[in-house]
Chains A and B, each alone.
Chain A
Amino acid sequence: GENVEQHPSTLSVQEGDSAVIKCTYSDSASNYFPWYKQELGKGPQLIIDIRSNVGEKKDQRIAVTLNKTAKHFSLHITETQPEDSAVYFCAAGDSNYQLIWGAGTKLIIKP
């Protein structure tokens, strides 16, 4: 079946440094790629998404890049802050209805 691989499973970075999380998907028909942030005890919350008609999207300290040929996309967080500590999930599909989710990355920001 279709799947999404997410790496690394855990990422520890110094406060102020950048963090990069990568995902690879198998279904070439996927055209919607959201990233969700999940804090402890809460449900996931969308932080940024991208569609296949663009290669990059940025929102303040967060950016997502997409390489459709290689079927991978990445989340970039710059100038990391303690409140960025959470679990991040990528997903791929052609709509919210048919999303396939990665296994998650636990991001730890060290003070």
Chain B
Amino acid sequence: GAGVSQSPSNKVTEKGKDVELRCDPISGHTALYWYRQRLGQGLEFLIYFQGNSAPDKSGLPSDRFSAERTGESVSTLTIQRTQQEDSAVYLCAESGGSPLHFGNGTRLTVT
């Protein structure tokens, strides 16, 4: 997706390790989303940031998952004590009152 950069593009980690995924959205766009996409499945909402409002964390699957955003810029998604079921593509999307613009995702593989 043009303008939304995610890193790393691929991450292989051992079960039990912590990982941090990064999203650099288009500057000035206030809404930012994280989604999880398991192989062959649709998008699963994780968390939503909107300006200075409290984030909507209702989609986070467990307390091992957390996310932060600094103002209206970079966001990081952290998964602690990774499990094999965390293996998926993690997508970041932003919206400035327009359709969602997605990054290309981070493919996480937990071995």
What is the interface of chain A, defined by CB distance below 8 A to chain B?
4, 6, 34, 36, 41-46, 49, 89, 91, 96-97, 99, 101-104
The interface residues of chain B lying within 8 Å CB-to-CB of A99 are: 45
The yes or no answer to B43 lying at the interface (CB within 8 A) is yes
Minimum CB distance partner of B91 in chain A? A43
Name 21 A/B residue pairs within 8 A (Cβ), A-sorted.
A34-B100, A36-B100, A42-B104, A43-B4, A43-B91, A44-B43, A45-B102, A46-B99, A46-B100, A89-B42, A91-B43, A96-B31, A96-B99, A97-B56, A101-B42, A101-B43, A102-B42, A103-B40, A103-B41, A104-B40, A104-B41
Whether B25 is near chain A, meaning CB under 8 Å from some CB there, is no
Range of interface residues on chain B? 20 to 34
Does A43 lie within 8 Å of B42, measured CB to CB? no
A101 CB contacts on chain B under 8 angstroms: 42-44
Interface residues of B (CB under 8 A from A): 1, 4, 31, 33, 40-45, 48, 50, 56, 91, 93, 95, 99-100, 102-105
Contacts of B103 in A (CB 8 A): 43
Chain A contacts for B40, CB-based, 8 A: 103-104
Evaluate whether A43 and B105 lie within 8 angstroms (CB atoms) in the complex, with A89-B42, A103-B41, A104-B42 already known: yes
